[in-house]
Amino acid sequence: MSHPTLDVAAIRRDFPILSEQVNGRPVVFLDSAASSQKPLQVLDAMDTVYRHRYANVHRGVYVFSEAATAEYDEARAKVARFIGSPSADNIVFTRNATEALNLLAYSYGRHFLKAGDEILITELEHHANFVPWFHLAQEKGVVVKCIPLTPDGQLDLSQLDTLLSERTRIVSFAHVSNVLGVITDPAPLIKRAHALGAIVIIDGSQAVPHMPVNVAELDCDFYAFSGHKMLGPTGIGVLYGKKALLEAMPPFMSGGDMISYVGFDTIRWNDVPLKFEAGTPAFVEAIGLGAAVDYLSKLGMAAVREHEREITAYALERVAEVPGVTIYGPTDPAIRGGVVTFNVDQIHPHDLATLLDQEGVAVRAGHHCAQPLHQRLGLAATARASFYVYSQPNEVDALVEAIYKAKAKLQTRRRR
């Protein structure tokens, strides 16, 4: 069976930053899970708005404003089509996935949950899908439970019978772990949650940029992700929500554009999704996100996923060859996203990342905004290499070579 492929050499020509040098060496950027690089198509789309037709949206009847408004609205429609939303009205623009998840905690959680209600999350979660729920627990007296992990880092769904109850109101989880790369199958969680009348929230920050996602087919209630991880700019994120739920929720913030009428004794909210978009929106960033969606759509998300599966498989094999390396998470690339998280014996991850940078190799080191997961693994920090559409095998080779050099440097220093 043939698989779709990417022309990585052609793709790399679209990214000006990849021709830069670091410490006199070609840059090897392996931190796309934190934030991806941007192609010319996105940079040009935003530059065109700023240079030729910048004006606030939804406020003017002159040419610049109408043109910007049309592009902004089309960006929302592009995002809706990209994730299989039934309508653009289901798409709320936020600053990022973190704001989208906080919106749900503040607007849905504070309005619909009461003391004793339960929220089920997982031990894999990024802080963005962890802290808002614990904040809500402190404030409202709700109970937060966590699905534990199997030894290889997947969700232990055998525990669902004891964790779910008639008091479960929200089930919220990451589609793909930003640390272990675990790809969670949402179907059984959604089915079990809905059977209890609970809503399902999915953090898709590491999924939407890397694989086909269709929210209508998933039948999730809410789905959040960030633009900056999928070739788009910072400052723009997305919250998909079922319209009936969005309409039932109170606004997150108040001000311009989220109202339809303000009087001295009466205020009426705007229609969904504008009800959740107070103030001047990040419309240039939204247009940039629309251009990123166009770029990924042209590549084809099946091809994106296959490319990352192949390069992740290669990276798992090559990094494991290095003596003293421990890799975390499942070893099967079919159930793993494009991240390889690891440690090297007797080298702190921050020291390792610094030494790799001297070789022009950029990786992330730390707890990756997932401290509870690291506590569960018994680790203070890890190093993480992550891949995207512009990643290529020779960059994995450069990573491995740089790890060997780091080990040699530290061994020499210790002898002294």
Asked if residue 3 belongs to a domain, the reply is no
Same domain, 222 and 337: no
Taking residues 42-56, what's their average pLDDT? 96
| Cα distances (Å, whole numbers) of residue 116 to 14, 79, 144 | 52, 37, 10
Asked if residue 1 belongs to a domain, the reply is no
Please tell me the pTM assigned to this model: 0.97
Q: What's the CATH number where 317 sits?
A: 3.90.1150.10
pLDDT above 60: residue 100: yes
Asked if residue 147 belongs to a domain, the reply is yes
State the chain's mean pLDDT as an integer.
96
Closest CA to 97 of 274, 199, 236, 276: 236
Domain boundary among 298, 327, 356: 298
Domain boundary among 265, 298, 331: 298
Question: Which residues form the catalytic set?
Answer: 369
Q: What is the pLDDT of residues 358-384, one digit of tens each?
A: 999 999 999 999 999 999 999 999 999
Domain coverage including residue 315:
8-30+300-415
Split into its structural domains, the chain has a count of 2
Q: What is the pLDDT of residues 281-332, one digit of tens each?
A: 999 999 999 999 999 999 999 999 999 999 999 999 999 999 999 999 999 9
Question: Cβ distance 389 to 211 under 8 Å?
Answer: no
Which residues, in sequence order, are bridge partners of residue 21? 26
The pLDDT of residue 121 is 98
The pLDDT of residue 415 is 61
Q: pLDDT-based confidence at 2, cuts 50/70/90? A: low
Q: What is the pLDDT of residues 194-228, one digit of tens each?
A: 999 999 999 999 999 999 999 999 999 999 999 99
Asked if residue 35 belongs to a domain, the reply is no
The pLDDT of residue 414 is 65
